[in-house]
Structure 1
Amino acid sequence: MSTRPARRAVLAAGLAAGATAALSGCATGGAGGRGGPAPEVPEADGKQLRGTVTVWSWDVAAKAMRRLAKDFQAKHPGTAVTVRDIGYDSAYDKITVGLKSGSGLPDVLTVEGPRMATYTGNFPRGFYDLTKPAGAHRKNFDEASWKTVVGPRGRTVALPWDIGPCGMFYRRDYFRAAGIEPGSIRTWDDYVQAGEQLRKRTGRRMLVLDTVEDSTFAMLLQQQGRHFYADGRVAVDSPEAVRAATLLKTLADRDLVDYQKGWDGLVTATKAGRAATETSAAWWMGTLLADAPELKGRFGVLPMPAFTAGGARTSNRGGSVLAVPEQSRNPGLAWAFVEFLLTSVPNQVSMLKREGLFPAFLPALADPYLSTPQEYFGGQAALKVFADLAPTTPPVEYTEDGAKASEIMFSTISGILTRDKDPREALGSAAAQIASATGRPRIAG
């Protein structure tokens, strides 16, 4: 699920037509912090499902579940599913309070994938163990999304819902004016060279970066199979991290970056045509369709450039999972609803069409709908690009200390981009800060 949930509503509309705050304060404790293993979800005979469950979610995700809950109830008479839209801005405060106090949570929780590690690390008994029932579906999810639902003890604590496979959106008209062949951009070196050619021939820049909280660095890390931690150690100064930060500084030094602040700045710059590309997730399609309809036919989609020839050409931004809290009063029915919602091709495709939720369930990516040409993208089957990339997304490690690292890394990357700091030195300093803040050892230094 994108951290900009409202943007998925516009993705759904377009397809049909053609933050860290609460988590950084988590502390081990509460009912979910008791010792011992998490309870296993009880098996439920589909013919005997009865009772009610309550689900917490927000925005279009809540809308999707309300719609499909009617089908679930029709299939299982005697059941009732109540979906509460708790709002994204307050969702994690409410979840954290519920886990710490040991009361007040629903039967099913929506959580963004990378954030699950914060909860499973701080509240090891906070969620039902779904290892046995979820095991039957393991083969139908990619490694990266499955990594987000496995707790620190190797137990499955949720099921992946939607994902944000990344590609490169590019302006066909700008590339044409600069004489750039889109298919020639296979590596980041190719991308830099194309950017210089674009700047020389058109005066335009290649991409937009946020001066305060840019997420491109994390995306480039995952492309290389890394994140902020590796084997529990601080890894923000790894060779992969230095490579990613050096790429960003190279782009900045060669005047290929248009700097903006925040989401609105990015959207405004895109509408104004201030850059030729945007490396983002599938849900960025919705932003273009809703906020820049006048640019129809001017965009195309490519895989991300690789760091080395033949290397990974995608990453992930966003995505969510569904979990059953230990506080659930009807865990068997709760799991049955999660399984119904997320392991059905028709359900997953309908959520892509109507709510813009890009499926984590791999069988859904083979549906003919994803191969449909889209007029906005010049007749290209843009969804197919992301469908092909999704299974190749590199899995990475998340921990309960992700929020602490994120805050430090935002400042670090901003310094590299706008204050000419040396990438290796800046990342080394960041690693020392994170190690001090978390008590974790470093992989280097």
Structure 2
Amino acid sequence: MKNFKGKLIGTLAAVGLLVSACGGGGQQEAQTQPGTGTTTEGTNAQDKGEIIVWAWDIAVKGLNDVIPLFNKKYPDIKVKIDEVGSSDAYDKVTAGLSAGGAGLPDAVLMESEVLPVYTSQFPDGFADLSAMGADSYKEKITATKWPQSISKGKIVAFPWDLGSTGVFYRTDLFEAAGVKAEEIETWDDFIAAGKKIKEKTGKAMLPVDISNGTALISMMLNQEGISYFDNDGDIILGSDKVTKAMAKIKEMNDAGLIANVQGWDGTVTATKNGTVATIPYGVWYSGTIMDQAPETKGKWGVFLLPAFEKGGNRASNNGGSALVIPAASKNKEIAYKFVEFALTDAESQMLLMKKYGLFPSLLETYKDPFFDAPQEFFGNKPIFRLFADESAAIPAVNYTSDYQRAAKHVADAQAKILLSQGDVKATLDEAAELLSVETQRKVKQ
């Protein structure tokens, strides 16, 4: 699912004083408004009532398609999916949690990377799903999805789609340059191949929004088992691993391999126009390629992200989401029944995968024959098996509640390094200190 990273930090900062005045984000029962459903908690055991779910983009269509399957099991629970744009949804959730849950629905779509921001700012804002039985799914959903979904030892978000990564590549451009994808095992191999492709075809190797985009370095760091923070929550922007990743990106740019694009639209345009030979991204980007560049059918392949050293880890994640239930909802039990069904029913998850490209984190789905089926758009290769097999090797990392703040400093550092020839280590150290001042977190090398 396309990520939204826009106004979240500013929105949360704007309500900071209000949250403090309300006692650190705890729910105020006297002020709490009922959920938008019609059944009270006393009748939830009868599996009757109505719930409202907020979502956006293809998640709206997907969840609507799940409702008929859900109603076969729970015919007396009515589910209404309201389409709320991602920006509006985060604004409304922030305002609602600040007011003790006022005006919130019974369940909300939320991006996994954003979850720690909310669970830190509003520690009692979401329902305890562990108490409803979610702990029983810990071994049934890929491990990388759980760290962001757990707060104070309790599950507060139910994992949905996964963003297993790969390198989507134009097979025709690789063939024209005499480059074999299967021989690209490391980032050094990737750079060498990019130089050859550039020389033979004139095409750049990959798109990067240099001033604002952090997807590439984020994927590279996830490979190494880190984010911008260590497991203790300390800042590690100046560490050897982060410095090494940024140095590789600089090497790509210095060789003319990066097409400097503007945001999401720039990446999509580069995909459609064939100005780049590869796009390293999450599995969900396969749907974007098919939707936005249908004329390139049959000209695409996929390989795993290159490792930093031969034999190193090539698994990573980019994107993904979860469903949360506001603690103020008066319909938590029946909302949980829908969330549980939608995200753990294999038939529902495969429907969402096949129709909308929402890659499941539910492990049992990977046994479905669909993952081994040749995909005509991608050279009749079973590309989804590659992503499924990769999922077990994706390292779980600590995003922290300050991940988005860190990403902004990393993007600024990247721009300085790539566009103004700033020293990699010195620039990242500077970014770490700025982030430390902003967040009061310690800096580690």
Q: TM-score, normalising length from structure 2?
A: 0.90
CA distance in 2, matches of 1:31, 1:317: 34
Shift of 1:232: 1.4
2:69 matches 1:71: yes
Letter in 1 for 2:124: R
- Do the aligned partners of 1:148 and 1:398 also contact (CA within 8 Å) in 2? yes
Q: Aligned runs of 1:118-137 on 2, under 5 Å?
A: 118-132=117-131, 133-137=133-137
- Do the aligned partners of 2:27 and 2:125 also contact (CA within 8 Å) in 1? no
**Residue in structure 1 matched with residue 202 of structure 2 by the alignment:** 203
**Residue in structure 2 matched with residue 13 of structure 1 by the alignment:** none
CA distance in 2, matches of 1:34, 1:131: 19
**Residue in structure 2 matched with residue 322 of structure 1 by the alignment:** 323
**Residue in structure 2 matched with residue 53 of structure 1 by the alignment:** 51
Q: 1:248 to 1:52 in 2, by over 3 A?
A: same
**Residue in structure 2 matched with residue 212 of structure 1 by the alignment:** 211
**Residue in structure 2 matched with residue 107 of structure 1 by the alignment:** 106
Q: Aligned runs of 1:166-315 on 2, under 5 Å?
A: 166-214=165-213, 215-230=215-230, 231-315=232-316
Deviations 1:302-338 (A, max 9, x none): 0110112222212211111011111110111111111
Shift of 1:47: 7.5
CA distance in 2, matches of 1:269, 1:334: 41
Q: 1:386 to 1:32 in 2, by over 3 A?
A: farther
**Residue in structure 1 matched with residue 84 of structure 2 by the alignment:** 86
**Residue in structure 2 matched with residue 418 of structure 1 by the alignment:** 419
CA distance in 2, matches of 1:121, 1:34: 11
- Give the SS at the match of 2:260: strand
Shift of 1:52: 2.0
**Residue in structure 2 matched with residue 14 of structure 1 by the alignment:** none
- Do the aligned partners of 1:229 and 1:397 also contact (CA within 8 Å) in 2? yes
Deviations 1:344-375 (A, max 9, x none): 11110001112221111111122111221111
Letter in 1 for 2:94: T
Letter in 2 for 1:428: D
Q: TM-score, normalising length from structure 1?
A: 0.90
- Give the SS at the match of 1:148: helix
Deviations 1:253-296 (A, max 9, x none): 12222212122222222222222111011111112112211111
CA distance in 1, matches of 2:441, 2:27: 22
- Do the aligned partners of 1:2 and 1:164 also contact (CA within 8 Å) in 2? no
CA distance in 2, matches of 1:399, 1:348: 28
CA distance in 1, matches of 2:84, 2:277: 37
CA distance in 1, matches of 2:382, 2:157: 31
CA distance in 2, matches of 1:262, 1:162: 22
Letter in 2 for 1:326: A
Of 236-245 and 190-199, the range deviating more from structure 2: 190-199
Letter in 1 for 2:75: P
- Do the aligned partners of 1:362 and 1:391 also contact (CA within 8 Å) in 2? no
**Residue in structure 2 matched with residue 7 of structure 1 by the alignment:** none
Letter in 2 for 1:89: S
Structure 2 stretches lacking a partner, 5+ long: 29-40
CA distance in 2, matches of 1:337, 1:189: 47
- Do the aligned partners of 2:45 and 2:333 also contact (CA within 8 Å) in 1? no
**Residue in structure 2 matched with residue 340 of structure 1 by the alignment:** 341
Letter in 2 for 1:54: I
Shift of 1:109: 1.4
Q: 1:368 to 1:192 in 2, by over 3 A?
A: same
CA distance in 2, matches of 1:248, 1:376: 29
**Residue in structure 2 matched with residue 403 of structure 1 by the alignment:** 404
Shift of 1:44: 11
Deviations 1:23-42 (A, max 9, x none): 44423444772299xxxxxx
- Give the SS at the match of 1:104: coil
Q: 1:201 to 1:407 in 2, by over 3 A?
A: same
Structure 1 stretches lacking a partner, 5+ long: 5-18, 37-42
**Residue in structure 1 matched with residue 32 of structure 2 by the alignment:** none
Shift of 1:95: 0.7
CA distance in 2, matches of 1:390, 1:249: 28
- Do the aligned partners of 1:242 and 1:427 also contact (CA within 8 Å) in 2? yes
CA distance in 2, matches of 1:25, 1:140: 35
**Residue in structure 2 matched with residue 2 of structure 1 by the alignment:** 2
Letter in 2 for 1:196: K
CA distance in 1, matches of 2:250, 2:365: 39
2:140 matches 1:154: no
Deviations 1:152-198 (A, max 9, x none): x2221111011111101111112112221211111111111212222
- Do the aligned partners of 2:44 and 2:331 also contact (CA within 8 Å) in 1? no
Shift of 1:123: 0.7
How many residues in Structure 1 have an aligned counterpart in Structure 2?
424
CA distance in 2, matches of 1:207, 1:186: 17
**Residue in structure 2 matched with residue 380 of structure 1 by the alignment:** 381
- Give the SS at the match of 1:168: strand
CA distance in 2, matches of 1:24, 1:403: 11
Shift of 1:81: 1.5
